[in-house]
Structure 1
Amino acid sequence: MKLTRRNFVKLVSALGASAFLTTYKSDIVAALEENKDYWHIAWLNGGACTGCTISFAQTADPDILQILTEILVGNSGLPIVLPDYMETIHLASGSLAEEFKEKWKSGKAGKRILIVEGVIQDPGYCVIAGKDFREHVLDAVRYADAIIAVGQCATFGGIPAAKPNPTNAKGLADFLKEEGVSKEVINLPLCPVNADQLVVTLAAVIIGAKVELDDYGRPKMFFSTNMHNDLCPYRPYYDKGQFIETPGEGEGCRYKIGCKGPVTWTDCPLRKWNNSTSYCVEAGAPCIGCSEPGWPDKFSPFYEEVPNLTSAIIDPTKLGTGIFGATLAGIGVHAVRRSLRRRKEVEENE
Structure 2
Amino acid sequence: VSPTIKNVLIDEVVPGKHISLKFQATVMAGEGDAVIKVLEDMPKTNKGGYVLVVEGAIPTKDGGVYGVFGEKNGKSVPMAERVEALAKDALAIIALGTCAAYGGIAAGKPNPGGYTGTDKFLESRKISKPLVNLPGCPPHPDWFVGTVASVLLLGLPKPEDLDELKRPKVFYGNLIHENCPRRAYFDEGKFARKFGEPGCLNELGCKGPVTHADCSLRMWNHGTNWCIGAGSPCIGCCEPGFPDLVAPFYQKLDDANMPTIGKLQG
TM-score by length of 1: 0.67
Give the conservation status (yes or no) of the 8 Å contact 1:262–1:309: no
**Who is 1:215 aligned against?**
164
Q: Do structure 1's residue 139 and structure 2's residue 139 form an aligned pair? A: no
1:102: how far off? 3.2
Root-mean-square deviation (CA, aligned residues, Å) is 2.2
**Who is 1:119 aligned against?**
57
1:145-160 pair list within 5 angstroms: 145-160=91-106
Q: Return the alpha-carbon distance in structure 2 between the equivalents of residues 206 and 72 of structure 1.
A: 8
**Who is 1:264 aligned against?**
211
Q: Return the alpha-carbon distance in structure 2 between the equivalents of residues 83 and 107 of structure 1.
A: 15
Q: Do structure 1's residue 97 and structure 2's residue 35 form an aligned pair? A: yes
**Who is 2:176 aligned against?**
227
1:139: how far off? 0.7
CA-to-partner distance for each residue in 1:10-37, whole Å, 9 max, x for gaps?
xxxxxxxx5xxxxxxxxxxxxxxxxxxx
**Who is 2:128 aligned against?**
182
1:110: how far off? 8.7
CA-to-partner distance for each residue in 1:49-99, whole Å, 9 max, x for gaps?
xxxxxxxxxxxx332222222216787xxx623511111221111112112
Instruction: Return 5+ residue gaps in structure 2 as ranges.
Output: 71-75
* DSSP-derived class of the 1:111 partner: coil
The correspondence for 2:9, drawn from 63, 68, 75, is 68
Give the conservation status (yes or no) of the 8 Å contact 2:59–2:80: yes
Moved more, 148-157 or 263-272: 263-272
1:246: how far off? 2.3
Change in 2 beyond 3 A, CA 1:312/1:186:
closer
* DSSP-derived class of the 2:95 partner: strand
How many residue pairs get aligned? The number is: 254
**Who is 2:186 aligned against?**
238
Structure showing greater Rg: 1
Q: Return the alpha-carbon distance in structure 1 between the equivalents of residues 186 and 175 of structure 2.
A: 15
- One-letter code aligned to 1:69: I
Q: Return the alpha-carbon distance in structure 1 between the equivalents of residues 190 and 14 of structure 2.
A: 51
Change in 2 beyond 3 A, CA 1:143/1:124:
same
1:1-350 pair list within 5 angstroms: 18=1, 61-71=2-12, 80-108=18-46, 111-122=49-60, 123-129=64-70, 130-211=76-157, 212-228=161-177, 230-247=178-195, 249-308=196-255, 310-311=257-258, 334-336=261-263
Q: Return the alpha-carbon distance in structure 2 between the equivalents of residues 110 and 144 of structure 1.
A: 5
**Who is 1:41 aligned against?**
none
Q: Return the alpha-carbon distance in structure 2 between the equivalents of residues 236 and 312 of structure 1.
A: 15
Change in 2 beyond 3 A, CA 1:71/1:138:
same
1:272: how far off? 1.6
* DSSP-derived class of the 1:86 partner: coil
Give the conservation status (yes or no) of the 8 Å contact 1:158–1:296: yes
Q: Return the alpha-carbon distance in structure 2 between the equivalents of residues 195 and 90 of structure 1.
A: 18
Q: Return the alpha-carbon distance in structure 1 between the equivalents of residues 114 and 47 of structure 2.
A: 37
Change in 2 beyond 3 A, CA 1:112/1:256:
same
TM-score by length of 2: 0.88
Moved more, 207-216 or 250-259: 207-216
Change in 2 beyond 3 A, CA 1:72/1:193:
closer
Q: Return the alpha-carbon distance in structure 2 between the equivalents of residues 222 and 285 of structure 1.
A: 21
Q: Return the alpha-carbon distance in structure 2 between the equivalents of residues 88 and 68 of structure 1.
A: 13
Q: Return the alpha-carbon distance in structure 2 between the equivalents of residues 116 and 252 of structure 1.
A: 39
1:100: how far off? 2.4
CA-to-partner distance for each residue in 1:198-247, whole Å, 9 max, x for gaps?
0010011122345221111111111111211x211110111222222223
Q: Percent identity?
A: 37
Q: Return the alpha-carbon distance in structure 2 between the equivalents of residues 289 and 151 of structure 1.
A: 13
Moved more, 147-156 or 300-309: 300-309
